Amino acid sequence: WIHGNGNRIDILNDTWYGDRPLAETLRGPLESGSTNASDPSRSKIRKSRGKFKGLETLKKMRVYNNAKLPVQIDMEFRRPFGENTDDLVGEIARLVTLCASFDVPYWRDVPEDRKIKIYEKLLDKFELRVGDEVCNDIHIRKIIYEIAGRRYRDVRSILYRHYQSYATDEERLQNPLEDINANEWAWLVNYFGSQKFKCNEGGEPPAHELWRLTHQKKDGSWGSEQSRHVYETVKDKLEELASQPCDSPVASTPEEVLSLVVRQRSGYVRGPGCGPKPPSKSAVTTATIAGLQAQVKDKDERISQMEELISKQREDMAQIQEKLFKQKAEVTAEVTARLKSDMSSQLNELVNKKFMDMMFQFHRDLGIGH
């Protein structure tokens, strides 16, 4: 978002010229307070020692055996995160400065072939991932374009400051910023001096209007139903607050109301920036250790419970086994007793029968003798 009065300038701290940020090359008469543009010593912009060429990125690529640097993309927050994120954003800023055309009012007006060139050059150095998969689909491309659009606005803000450093168009045309095409710079000089651009002077729009501008499409439709709901809710609340006393303790500014409606997270600057500020490495490490310790504790408790259950089951099995042995002994004794009783009865019966047979034979023999 470019403001004609230059009150809000987003500095490209990740785009360097020589050993200092690009913005430092613009600290000429504008910041020093000089209004004497005719003084050559005050109107010239100090030259830097050379432009940034992504050397740190190349060094990292050598560590990866000249392979592409992996970068994770968060599809929910539409932003890169984790390792190599700074390198990715810095490379996007560098490519925007070198490849984008600045003879159009907005990033959306940059020719598509320029945007594709930026994206393809970026893929020469970076491997964009969602989880474990490499993704280069239209959704990833749109996220990269969103980041490039923010960097484009940053560069335009810097170019406007450079424009303000000189008093006349003649001086401005004679002193284009390095890496900016002379024809594009001439177009910008004409555009920055136009009535259309000057109509945008007056500062940043209210937070809810900035929300609308960044969440609506060209045709006026909303990017999502949730975005529309946020805007209408904030607008209604502001209208309601306008009818309340000025000393009301509730939030009264568009920024405060928007923060309450969207429940702004700590460390997240809404509007500029790529997304919510990720937690520090120490916080991530501490959270990871705490999570692992909790898992180990839970596992130890489950193992202890299982050991108690196994011990109880063993005791129950021992009792059952003892009971079975006892029942077996009782049954064996009973069966043995029965067998003995049956055998004794059968033996007595056999003896008695044998005795009767002998008595019968004796009487028979005795009768024959008489």
- Cα 328–Cα 334–Cα 338 angle in degrees, nearest 5: 145
Q: Which pLDDT score is estimated for 9?
A: 37
Residues with pLDDT less than 50, the chain: 1-50, 265-276
pTM of the model: 0.45
User: Three-class SS of residue 284?
Assistant: helix
Q: Which pLDDT score is estimated for 12?
A: 42
> Tokens representing 183?
């024809």
Query: CB count, 10 Å around CB of 88?
Result: 23
Report yes or no: 125 and 68 within 8 Å, Cβ to Cβ: yes
Whole-angstrom distance, CA of residue 272 vs CA of residue 156: 15
Q: Which pLDDT score is estimated for 215?
A: 86
Report yes or no: 80 and 8 within 8 Å, Cβ to Cβ: no
Q: Which pLDDT score is estimated for 365?
A: 77
Q: What is the pLDDT of residues 213-256, one digit of tens each?
A: 888 887 778 888 888 888 888 888 877 777 665 555 555 677 88
> Which candidate, 89, 148, 112, 107, places its Cα nearest to that of 2?
107
Whole-angstrom distance, CA of residue 130 vs CA of residue 274: 17
Report yes or no: 81 and 277 within 8 Å, Cβ to Cβ: no
